[in-house]
């Protein structure tokens, strides 16, 4: 049991550290790469936080769950927008322009 508590603590600290590092895109390019997986990281941290609650590490679990919630909330809010963001008027056409920046 003691091993599981230590393992959960290490995984939670690493998970939250990687989640925080995903916001460091302005400092280092690795932050931009991690930001792609931010929702998955937040989900993993939330699952580990629930595990920490089961292992009686309430403070660590609560803080990790709050961090995961704050990371996932803007992404989930963006997904919850109903309908298209731009609706063309009848007779209007939509032009899509794409450019490879490499």
Q: Write out pLDDT tens, residues 26-69.
A: 899 898 899 999 999 999 999 999 988 888 888 988 999 999 99
What's the pTM? 0.73
Residue 24, helix vs strand vs coil: coil
Taking the CA atoms of residue 76, residue 72, residue 18 and residue 43 in that order, the dihedral angle to the nearest 10 degrees is -90
> Measured at the alpha carbon of residue 21, what is the angle toward residues 18 and 25, in degrees to the nearest 5?
140
Task: Indicate whether 12 pLDDT > 80.
Answer: yes
């Amino acid at each position: 049991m003691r091993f599981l508590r230590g393992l959960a603590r290490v995984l939670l600290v690493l998970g939250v550290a990687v989640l925080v590092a995903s916001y460091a895109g302005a400092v280092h390019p690795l932050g931009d790469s991690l930001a792609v997986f931010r929702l998955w990281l937040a989900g993993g941290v939330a699952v580990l936080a629930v595990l920490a609650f089961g292992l009686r590490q309430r403070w660590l679990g609560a803080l990790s769950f709050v961090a995961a919630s704050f990371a996932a909330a803007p992404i989930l809010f963006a997904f919850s927008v109903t309908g298209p963001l731009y609706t063309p008027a009848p007779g209007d056409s939509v032009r899509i322009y794409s450019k490879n920046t490499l």
